[in-house]
Amino acid sequence: AIDRRQRVRFGRCLGGAESAAATAIVRLRGGPALVVGFGQDGGDTQAWYWQVDGLGYARRSGSFGSQGPDAALAALPWEGGAWLVGRTSGTNGGDALLLRLDDQLRAVVQRDLDLGGDERAVAVIADHDGTPWVLVEGTLAGTDGPERAAWLIALRADGQTWKQARIPLTADGFGRPLAIDKESVWIAGSSGAGESATGFLRVVSVGSATVDPADGASVPGSVLAMATQRDGALAVVGSRGEGPNRRLWLGGRDGKRRWLKPRSLPAAVGGEAVGMVALRRGILLWTGGGAGDPPGRLFTVDPRGRSRQIAALDGFWPVGAIETPGRLLLVAGAARGCGRDGLDAAVVFLAAP
């Protein structure tokens, strides 16, 4: 899947729709991977899923939709099947879409969640008791115009709300939910601009849905991506500086809840980061942008901040990855050369770094 010039060559195109884009990948119980996203096949955009085996072949696929555009944005393995969450059409622009699939990947629950504004579900996790928690973000009508909002919602097995709490977003600058793990949702943002920019992190407890101001941190510049690791550590990648002087840093919190001093990543990594996922040891980080932007690159970064480029991403834009024994499975939101429109979702499998 990577040639001698370190270029990613996609392994399998994900077909089924006329045009399709992937948004996330998770591992199901028993080994197969589930890729979710959205696709169009002669009508409105629908939420799509693909069950992918260890060789990258789509063994099953399906779609779910309403009378308007729909998309699956995240997934959670659950009781042999999965929860899919995303966005569907609604009275105020959009509603959060909640789907539960059984172990045969048949839809057994489908719910449109309207919280009074334009919303979408962007993440879903399970707590220690197995209860699904959904992170919803959107906008509400305010006295001075639209107001950004976010909610944590715990679901029952039938998709109905068990607990719900609105997350207070920071007022000083830009606040956005970026990461969610089994205990917390992490909110990141920044105030100021250029060399004077300051980033911040806040944590919201899943159990109480309250902000603990003492459990946050200020960071230099802006937060670009976050990933939670198996030991409970939080890896954070951000940037500082402008133009050719812009550089990435790696920081976060270790498994003992201690904040780490940000480490500058080598200049070769550049100054842009799109996303990352936690590996068994360290993180996988990708840089670059979408179709039409300069080629991105794929790096591994160890816990000490040492990075190694493993691939160039010309024509391949990843949105997620999972580790399997001896192999790393990436999913591309779009890969050049796939699909009828030449730019569809694909799966790439690499040797584990």
For the stretch 112-123, pLDDT in tens is 999 888 899 998
Contact 262, 249 (CB under 8 A): yes
pTM: predicted TM-score of the whole model, two decimal places: 0.84
Q: List the chain pLDDT tens, one digit each, 353 residues.
A: 555 666 666 668 886 667 788 899 998 887 788 999 998 767 778 899 999 887 777 888 888 877 778 999 999 999 889 999 999 987 778 899 999 999 888 999 999 999 888 899 998 988 878 889 898 888 887 777 777 788 888 899 999 999 888 876 654 444 556 677 666 777 776 666 555 566 666 666 666 655 555 567 777 777 878 888 777 788 888 888 777 777 888 888 888 878 888 888 776 666 566 678 888 778 888 876 555 566 678 888 887 778 888 887 777 778 888 887 777 778 878 777 776 666 678 887 776 66
pLDDT at residue 120 in the model = 92
pLDDT at residue 173 in the model = 47
225-227-230 Cα angle (round to 5): 170
Contact 216, 223 (CB under 8 A): no
Contact 187, 167 (CB under 8 A): yes
Phi, psi for 170 (deg, rounded to 5): -65, 145
Alpha-carbon span 47 to 41, nearest angstrom: 11
| SS3 per-residue string spanning 46-90 | EEEEEEECCCCCEEEEEEECCCCCCEEEEEEEECCEEEEEEEECC
pLDDT at residue 174 in the model = 46
Q: Tell me, what amino acid is at 348?
A: V
Residue 221 buriedness (CB in 10 A; 0-12 / 13-18 / 19+):
buried
Contact 277, 260 (CB under 8 A): no
CB burial of 117-148 (b: ≥16 within 10 Å; e: otherwise) equals bbbbbbbbbeeeeebbbbbbbbbeeeeeeeee
pLDDT at residue 78 in the model = 92
